[in-house]
Amino acid sequence: MPIETKRFDLGGGDSAELYVELLHGTTRKVQAIYRPYLGRPEVQEVLNSEMPEDEKVRALYKLVGDSADIAGATDLLLLGQVKEWSFGPVTQENLDGITEKKREKLVLEANALYGDLPLPIGGGKS
């Protein structure tokens, strides 16, 4: 049975098609980066708070952004969840070759689809 996907316009004639549900392999790889931080009480406090998602992302980035490879986790998530995009094969090289504006759009769409990830997937140092 095929996995449902959703296509997003990235602007400039480019688009990307993402799987609607997180794939197990993607989740496993991303969580391996974040696992050391999940046991911290201050991280759990933010994760369990009622603050809006954008505030939660900022708070978590302040807590772990200097030591967690957030940009790497973001790239892993995007490369694992993109079925196809209009600018060539789904590779790190092609992801690195798009503009920050297009990457940001892709990250925002992924955040909207996969908002239940344990830590933010955006906001990393690129």
Task: Give the pLDDT confidence of 23-77 residue by residue, as tens digits.
Answer: 999 988 988 888 888 889 999 898 889 988 778 878 888 998 888 888 888 899 9
Let me know if residue 59 belongs to a domain. Answer: no
56 within a domain of the structure (yes/no): no
Residue 121 lies inside a defined structural domain of this protein: no
**In this structure, what are the phi and psi dihedrals at residue 31, rounded to the nearest 5 degrees?**
-65, -25
User: What's the pLDDT at 124?
Assistant: 42
Mark out the alpha helices in 6-84 (DSSP H runs).
24-38, 41-47, 53-64, 70-81
In a domain, 60, yes or no: no
pLDDT band at 119 (very low <50, low <70, confident <90, very high): very low
Q: Which domain holds residue 76?
A: 5-40+70-113
How far apart, in whole angstroms, are the C-alpha atoms of residue 110 and residue 83? 13
Average per-residue pLDDT in the chain? 87
pLDDT of residue 9 exceeding 80, the answer is: yes
Say if 65 falls within a structural domain.
no
For CA atoms 110, 101, 70, 76, the dihedral sign is positive
- Could you give the number of structural domains in the chain? 1
The C-alpha atoms of residue 91 and residue 2 are separated, in whole angstroms, by 22
Would you state the pLDDT for residue 116? Answer: 56
Structure tokens at 6: 């959703």
pLDDT at 87: 95
CB 75 within 8 A of CB 92: yes
123 domain residue, yes or no:
no
- Sign (positive or negative) of CA dihedral 18, 115, 4, 105: negative
The answer to whether residue 49 is domain-embedded is no
Contact 106, 10 (CB under 8 A): yes
Is 104 part of any domain?
yes
